[in-house]
Structure 1
Amino acid sequence: MKIQVLGTGCAKCKQLTANAEQAVAALGLEAKVEKVEDLREIMKLGVMTTPALVVDGVVKSAGKVLSPDAVRALLGS
C-alpha cells in the first residue's frame, strides 16, 4: 500500500502526516507514509487544496486534516 500526504510543509500538512503514520501503526500495515511537497507532483494528481491524502494513487481527502481515526477508516476499507 502506498500512502502519500501532499502539501508544502505547513503545520496542517505535518499534522496529517503524523495522523496517517499513527493510523498505519494502529492497523499494523506494511506501509510507509510518503510526504510529497513538489507542487508539480501535487498538481499531477489534480489536488488544488492541501493537505491531501492519497492511497494507492487515489485522492481520498483534500483540504482538511483527518484525525487518526478518520485515516484508519479510509485505510481499513
Structure 2
Amino acid sequence: MEIKVLGAGCPRCDHLKQEVMAVMVELKLAADIEHVTDIAEIGRYGVMGTPALIINGKVAAVGSVPSKAQIKAWVKEASKN
C-alpha cells in the first residue's frame, strides 16, 4: 500500500501524517508513507487545497484532516485490493 500526505509542512499536514501512521499501527498493516511537500508534485494530483491524502494513487481527502475513523475505513478498503 502506498499512502501520500500532500502539504507544505503545515501543522494540519503533520497531524494528518501522524493520524495515518497511528491507523497503520492499529490495523497492523504495512505501507509506504510519504509526506510530499514539493508544490509541483502536489499539483500533479490536481488538488487545490492541503492537506490532501492519497491512498494507492487515489485522492481520498483534500483541504481537511479526516477523522481517524474515516482514515481507517479508507485504509481497510484499500487493503482489500
**CA–CA separation in structure 2 for the residues paired with 1:68 and 1:62:** 15
Q: Secondary structure at the match of 1:69?
A: helix
Q: How many equivalent residue pairs?
A: 77
> Which residue type is aligned with residue 35 of structure 2?
K
Mapping 1:39-58, distance limit 5 Å: 39-58=39-58
Q: CA deviation at 1:56?
A: 0.9
Identity, in percent, stands at 39
CA contact 1:16–1:67 (8 Å) conserved in 2: no
CA distance in 1, matches of 2:32, 2:24: 8
Unmatched runs of 5 consecutive residues or more in structure 1:
none
Counterpart-to-counterpart distance in 2, 1:62 and 1:48: 8
1:26 aligns with 2:26: yes
Give the aligned residue type for 1:59.
V
TM-score after normalising by structure 2? 0.90
Q: What is the aligned-residue RMSD (CA, Å)?
A: 0.8
Structure 1: 4+ residue segments shifted above 3 A: none
The whole-number CA distance in structure 1 between the counterparts of 2:61 and 2:10 is: 16
Q: What is the TM-score with the length of structure 1 in the denominator? A: 0.95
